[in-house]
Chains A and B, each alone.
Chain A
Amino acid sequence: MATSVELSTEEGGTYSGPLLDVRNLHVEFRTREGVARAVNGVEYSVDAGETLAVLGESGSGKSVTAQAIMGILDSPPGFVTQGKIIFQGRDLLTLGGEERRKVRGARMAMIFQDALSSLNPVLNVGEQLGEMFTVHRGMSRKEARARAVELMERVRIPAAKERIRSYPHQFSGGMRQRVMIAMAMALEPELIIADEPTTALDVTVQAQVMDLLAELQREYNMGLILITHDLGVVADVADKIAVMYAGRIVETSPVHDIYRAPAHPYTKGLLDSIPRLDQKGQELYAIKGLPPNLLHIPSGCAFHPRCPRARDVCRTDDPPLYRVSQHRASACHFWKETLGDDSVPSDDT
């Protein structure tokens, strides 16, 4: 378990804040149809050795936030319009292109959902892994190759020496994801962002890959941001959770508390709608309606058209992130009720 997070406000001096601190981040996409506000004031932080899970439906802005942190946002059409991304005490958004590039890969790395399309199909995995060392560390090709074999062994690819000459398509999905992990680990970064690393994999392989990631994280004391929509995966590995909806964090919490008693109706809806392995219910709880269109985010609380607790105030007032306890926050006007009981209050409209 990692140390708790202090939301430090001071910069400069000896830095004692979290490894990564994202503050009030806004990203928009300027498209033909209009401005899609994909990220609207995201706040989260990660410490060394800590796993933050970012949860949310597709389109909630999880990946875009990650891309903004990595500095690989598709721009145009995407633009960071506001906010700070403080990594090891420096605001990455103020850095120039060259400096930013140095951070990427060496200090923070990313693992993508679709390993096949993020690996180069015409280079063998040895070359791709070795490239990390020749380019960033100026090693000779031979040295780089030796390091590549070492890495492949570390991510438990059997017969690494022979398989180093294989091409990505010759690996299975799980193996490819391991190669991706090896590439991310190559330069021993302080932070790894894994964007749905196991969504494309089968449960058995998913378990292997998550295990590997957790083990490597422990070994190197890295910060890990795990993006996923699977509440199950999160429960097994995360230290804390940030739930996103329509480009905002609606709830942050240590992992244990959120499952016991969610403080936001959306989180509660998500938890209730997953079928359980150990019981056979009658009807699944379903959050009504659809995720919002980012071109027209509802007024007030963005969740109000789908929220069973919504009242008049929700339609007009955007709830701030209320502090629920020392380490918990919820962007719901009625977090106390949500936390408190399971009955839905009668609508007073």
Chain B
Amino acid sequence: MTTASRPTTPEPSDGRPADREPILQVRDLVKHFPLTQGIVFKRQVGAVQAVDGVSFDLFPGETLGIVGESGCGKSTVAKLLMNLEEPTSGEILYRGEDITKLSGRALKAVRRNIQMVFQDPYTSLNPRMTVGDIIGEPYEIHPEVAPKGDRRKRVQELLDVVGLNPEYINRYPHQFSGGQRQRIGIARGLALRPEVIVADEPVSALDVSVQAQVVNLMERLQDEFNLSYMFIAHDLSIVRHISDRVGVMYLGKIVEVGADAEIYEHPTHPYTQALLSAVPVPDPEARQYRERIILSGDVPSPANPPSGCRFRTRCWKARERCVVEEPLLAVPEAFRGTGGPAAHDSACHFAEEKPVVPRER
């Protein structure tokens, strides 16, 4: 893998200087979960290749969206970034420092700067803690951030910031609706004033109308606190709405990554094209104008991924070369040097442009 560790340049078009230092650099990240048999004397019989060589950069103030089907390794990437799992190999550089090698005090210090918002607002808040205790816990763990007398005020400010009544500090999570709970989760994530927030499907469990409220809140907070988001979701429309750049994952690998317009309007990887064409569009008139690519079969098991290109078992363009040679994540030859929107990283031997998102009339 030579090209994989090449840092992807961010899209300069949206007003950010392209030469800015990335805040987070992920290099060849691998996580294999061993499959074992036996209880006392464990034998390894294989490995789930949950994440297998993922590289990307995250720049200050930007949102990187990650999409992909269930089980493709999105949450595992998030957990690795949070140091909740230990990578099998690879590096995660936060401001140039490899956080996977840290432990103890140094790790704790880094953790302050990278925080997480969880998917399920019902299980991510301790039902036996008051909201005040939940949002105040970061200050107990990192007492240096806020002096003791100051904490309650800070907690109330945070509630205020996420649009909840500051008087609610003595309530318990079950007294709130899903959307409100997600706001509490976001407030907890903000408490330590992090620079990066990893949001693992933060709105997937919410209803459409409430989902919009939470997405708006996240966008507002990003501007207010200059946060970088890594926004994981399986809903491609939401990801487009919030992201500056988007990475598409399949079976533990990023198969295509680029600025949002590059991915959504000029996808070159067949998987991205299928994924986009399968998104139901809330417009019945579009039925006639759309070409839908319906993939056959299911995602193969990550314990036993196909050789060569991992997508080949479901790809309608697969040929001999795809079986034997693994395509690398790089700008495909056909588009190299064109400078057009199709010239972004795509891991396919036969990458070609195919617009699949119908334009609104």
Residues of A with Cβ closer than 8 Å to B? Answer: 57-58, 158, 172-175, 202-208, 210-211, 229-236, 238, 255-256, 259-260, 269-271, 273-281, 283-288, 290-291
Contacts and interface: CB of A to CB of B under 8 A. Distances in A.
A283 B284 CA distance: 24
A231 B284 CA distance: 10
A236 B284 contact: yes
Interface size class of B (residues with CB under 8 A): 35 or more
A280 B297 CA distance: 32
Given A207-B292, A273-B211, A290-B179, A233 B280 contact: yes
B282 interface: yes
Interface in B220-238: 234, 236-238
Contacts of A203: 69, 234, 236, 275, 278-280
Contacts of B234: 202-203
Contact of A208 (B179, B282, B295): B295
Contacts of A278: 264, 281, 357-360
A57 B207 contact: yes
B209 A270 contact: yes
B295 A276 contact: no
Contacts of A235: 280-284, 286-287
B260 interface: yes
Interface in B52-68: none
Given A207-B292, A235-B284, A281 B241 contact: yes
A210 B292 CA distance: 12
A211 B294 contact: yes
B212 A273 contact: yes
Interface in B297-327: 297-299
A274 B209 CA distance: 8
Given A229-B208, A284-B215, A204 B280 contact: no
A38 B286 CA distance: 35
B278 A207 contact: yes
Contact of B360 (A58, A208, A236, A276): A276
Contacts of B280: 203, 206-207, 210, 230, 232-236
6 residue pairs, one from A and one from B, having the closest CB atoms: A232-B280, A275-B241, A286-B212, A273-B212, A287-B209, A284-B212
B276 interface: yes
A275 B238 contact: yes
B179 to A, nearest CB: 7
Nearest to A210: B280
